[in-house]
Chain A
């Protein structure tokens, strides 16, 4: 592998004649403006990157190094909507970005966000795809042609009139990829686009990238199996700028930055199991109907047999929309089954009782943390217990914060994503539930961070059900597994 003129790693097999620069970042500096008017540390300093037209570039960055901010800067929405100070030159297909508005980039550059929910603006899948095409003023026949083809490609025909609120995380991601498809912009920016997708759609995305004649920039905080031999260039964003070592040096360096070289905390972990419990489901049944569409059949869930014991680490894998979240909601008592039973130690429990026995860590931590400081967040549940005195609460909170590497005076809403995820786990750690469900914990976390959280929650003997799409991650943690397809669960 030879270094290219811009210094990034070149793969000879993929090298191609390039026409012009699709994207040129030159000496870019960026600093977010603090809402407290404090001086913030800069996010980028003297950052330069050239992306050739028609090339496929992978930009690897550990968490919180600014990859999403970089994507938003390229799309012209930062600092416009996310205030900060931006310096340097940015060119997009030969045009100066500072002279363009975000809507001017519609046919030039499209962006798939890490968090799909933040990009939805329309009331249904079909309208979501139609909105940008209507903005472009395309003829109706052309819109119909593009939308029909994109819905078919991403398996969304039955969901075309569905509301985004009724879609699973993976289905939402596929809608955004379908928007990308109908837009046919010259530069695609895909921010953690493989996250949330199951293997079938990951393979399709890989194939789409491989065969596309567009310029593609993929931003990722983990090096996935799917990336192998897919890109012309791989670069690293670290220490506020872009580094372009050879791939043989880049990947080990990136791995170290992510903490993947550290020992697996689950290996040789000695558990402190005080009491043994067993959670079982027999012939569990549930039904769900999408309110916003008559297309497709109503979804039914059937779990013939599922069990989880104290100290066990069990994985649940399955395609998008197969019923993983529906099952999790039943297990923690948020929804009522229409048949079958959920028991703990042989005793059937009501929904309310289950919600006090089974902790459910949502994929999005922001829906589970809501108080002004870490200390208040951690003590919220303990303060409501009559059997604990104030000093005891304080000492437990302090111990827990130390264990999870949290600062008690920090404000959760301004903390980084991995820290918010750690805080979410710390809250549940203090609740000391006998069982936990971790919904796609590995998504948007390094393997090491995810494994550390699992190890801490499991330390006192809790049984853990880990939902994941990542085969590599599943293989690192699993003792036993279940798969769920079209609402039917099977033991692996």
Chain B
């Protein structure tokens, strides 16, 4: 009922201390909301993607982009129509449809969305889940809260996997003499696929709870740890880098 988001590799991000990596992730997420030049914003997005490609491979970077693309398109397509201020770029009779301000805001929103998605994805792609858990506990997060976070980040991909499997099964059930599907038909076909994925997800909830308790979650004794973070060298340097990197990027790109 869980799917790993970890992508095995040997890049420098894999050797970066998970505690420092979490700090870097949080600071970069904040960075994307600071007042920076649009060009600077996209340069940093490109840098994050480049670092991702170096560490996890180009195919993982492109897979991540494909997975966020529908949401990205949805945001970018509708954002310009919601902003009425600024220099009009396209008008229909007296009605302003798109303004320069609307386009700029849509571009900024898209940049932030891509950047934050990649930063979070990189944390979970380069750190095994148990070490994420250990790092969260180092930050004094209670065990059960840490477990909820790590389970969420493995359970959501599990639902996504189920969705893909069900979509494949639908593809196999297409009739031999079926006519080519139109766009609307494809949209309609998403409904049973989504419903099935939801049913699979709902059904798995009691199983997940059952398995956690059968594996001893609920026992009052102190849990021991199989993994530890002792193998990560120079944590202080990593923490320092986690602060310096966002700071330097801000100084370079601030508006």
Contact = CB atoms under 8 A, between A and B. Distances in A.
Interface of A: 72, 75, 77, 80-82, 101-106, 110-111, 117-124, 126-127, 130-140, 143-144, 147, 161, 163-165, 290-294, 332, 334, 355-357, 359-360, 362, 366-368, 370-371, 380-382, 384-387, 413, 427-428, 431-433
A60 B22 CA distance: 52
B211 interface: yes
Interface stretch (B70-78, B106-114, B190-198, B247-255): B190-198
Contact of B226 (A105, A121, A133): A133
A104 B218 CA distance: 9
Contacts of B168: 334
A135 B220 CA distance: 9
A120 B211 contact: yes
A123 B192 contact: no
A380 B173 contact: yes
18 contacts: A81-B209, A102-B213, A106-B215, A124-B4, A127-B129, A130-B226, A133-B226, A135-B215, A135-B219, A136-B216, A137-B222, A138-B224, A292-B8, A334-B172, A362-B165, A368-B169, A370-B195, A427-B173
A386 B170 CA distance: 18
B206 to A, nearest CB: 4
Given A82-B206, A136-B224, 8 more contacts: A119-B207, A121-B208, A123-B128, A127-B130, A132-B216, A161-B6, A334-B172, A384-B175
A77 B213 contact: yes
Interface string B218-231: 11011111111000
A161 B226 CA distance: 14
Nearest to B196: A370
B171 interface: yes
B184 interface: no
Nearest to A361: B172
A120 B1 contact: yes
A2 to B, nearest CB: 36
A134 B177 contact: no
A366 B216 contact: no
Given A127-B129, A384-B174, A431-B175, A119 B226 contact: no
Interface of B: 1-10, 60, 128-130, 150-151, 154, 158, 161-162, 165-166, 168-179, 192-193, 195-196, 199-200, 204, 206-219, 221-228
A131 B228 CA distance: 14
Contacts of B129: 122-124, 127
Given A137-B221, A355-B172, A163 B199 contact: no
Nearest to B222: A137
Nearest to A105: B214
A310 B53 CA distance: 48
A140 B172 contact: no
A292 B192 contact: no
B175 A381 contact: yes
Contacts of B218: 101-103
B166 A370 contact: yes
Contacts of A122: 2, 129-130
A118 B207 contact: yes
Contacts of B176: 356-357, 431-433
Contacts of A132: 215-216
A121 B166 contact: no
A292 B214 contact: no
A475 to B, nearest CB: 29
Contact of A72 (B172, B200, B210): B210
A124 B154 CA distance: 11
A318 B207 CA distance: 30
B6 A292 contact: yes
Nearest to B165: A367
A294 B217 CA distance: 30
Contacts of A144: 226
Contacts of A431: 173, 175-176
Contacts of A121: 1-2, 151, 208, 211-212, 215
A433 to B, nearest CB: 7
A6 B158 CA distance: 45
A126 B129 CA distance: 11
B211 A118 contact: yes
A163 B192 CA distance: 28
A332 B225 CA distance: 45
A75 B214 CA distance: 8
Contacts of B200: 366-367
A383 to B, nearest CB: 9
A163 B1 CA distance: 11
A248 B4 CA distance: 49
A431 B173 CA distance: 7
A291 B2 contact: no
Contact of A137 (B178, B210, B223): B223
Closest 5 CB pairs of A and B: A135-B216, A163-B4, A370-B196, A130-B226, A103-B218
Contacts of A371: 192
A366 B222 CA distance: 39
A95 to B, nearest CB: 16
A111 B215 CA distance: 10
Contacts of A359: 172
A385 B185 CA distance: 13
Contacts of B214: 75, 77, 102-103, 105-106, 110-111, 119
A381 B217 contact: no
Contacts of A103: 213-214, 216-219
Max count, chain B CB within 10 A of own CB: residue among A80, A127, A133, A164: A127
A377 to B, nearest CB: 10
B10 A101 contact: no
A161 B8 contact: yes
Nearest to A412: B199
Contacts of B166: 367, 370
Contacts of B221: 136-137
Given A134-B224, A334-B168, A165 B158 contact: yes
A356 B204 CA distance: 31
B2 A384 contact: no
A65 B154 CA distance: 34
Given A102-B218, A103-B216, A123-B129, A368 B211 contact: no
A368 B196 CA distance: 9
Given A77-B210, A121-B212, A362-B169, A292 B174 contact: no
Contacts of A386: 177, 179
Nearest to B170: A370
Contacts of A110: 214
A118 B2 CA distance: 9
